[in-house]
Amino acid sequence: MKIGFIGLGIMGKPMAKNLIKAGYELIVYDLSGDATKEVASCGANAAPNAKSVAAQSDIIITMLPNSPHVKEVVCGSEGVLEGARPDTIVIDMSSIAPQASIEIGKACAEKGVKMVDAPVSGGEPKAIDGSLSIMVGGDRVVFDDVYKILMTMGSSVVYCGDLGAGNTAKLANQVVVALNIAAVAEAFMLSKKSGVNPLLVFDAIKGGLAGSTVMNAKGPMMLNNNTNPGFRIDLHIKDLNNALETGHAMGAPLPLTAAVLEMMQTLRADGFGQSDHSALAKYYEKVSGEKISG
């Protein structure tokens, strides 16, 4: 079986490498020639465009920034659908709007190509060690066909429903993560302003009901003033915009999501767009005039 992989960014690159380690034959393409060369040096074959990837592959995985990029790569000129054979499977692992997944899936179906949406959670560290959480939408039979491949990149692969359901689950995940990070930063600032060491507060509450995977991962980053990106503010802004767009279309109120999105937009304006989303702490430091760390 030959697998095509398109999109070798901060997440796609380690995911592709894990497929190679598992023994799959990969054909790869990315706009960055350096990224393509790096993955090719691990044993993949490089292709000049998405069409060429599709022509050589039984399954094509895309890992791209947002809905327009996936539409262009799959449906555009020199795209996947220009090279794919009938019964080829497209696994879009990008985090995009659910409605965009449905529209792209319809275009695939017109060419006899099957598609599932399979966005991931876990950031770069879990992409590297192959322990991503993967949420999948699409035909259940196609899900069963690709399950083993997805488990090469993740430790949890869950079927969520029809096409688009994977991205709906991912948006829900991103809402919970964003609000959780903001809550941790807010609590740390309350502690600091009250004269109580936020590190001691973290140690005191992390084992109780307030404790979470998000707190354990992002709390220490805030306390150490570490904004090195595992997941960038700019990408989280994209996800929360997609969540609000979907919420408006479905009639689902998202007032807390809107509030945290505005905090992130402020951080982007202040130059933190490429920083880790734990840099939400910087918003509280800005408005309070106090540092959480130190």
Residue 47 CB: number of other CB atoms within 10 A?
A: 24
Q: Which position has the token pair 């066909």?
A: 145
Whether residue 69 contacts residue 93, with contact meaning beta carbons closer than 8 Å, is answered with: no
The three-class DSSP label of residue 154 is strand
**Annotated catalytic, 170?**
yes
Are the C-beta atoms of residues 111 and 86 closer than 8 Å to each other? yes
**How crowded is residue 23: how many other Cβ atoms within 10 Å of its Cβ?**
8
Q: Which of 126, 170, 192, 218 is catalytic?
A: 170
- 159 in helix, strand or coil? strand
Nearest by Cα to 10 from 45, 44, 41, 35: 35
- The burial of 294, by beta-carbon neighbours within 10 Å (0-12 exposed, 13-18 middle, 19 or more buried), is given as exposed
Active site residue ranges: 170
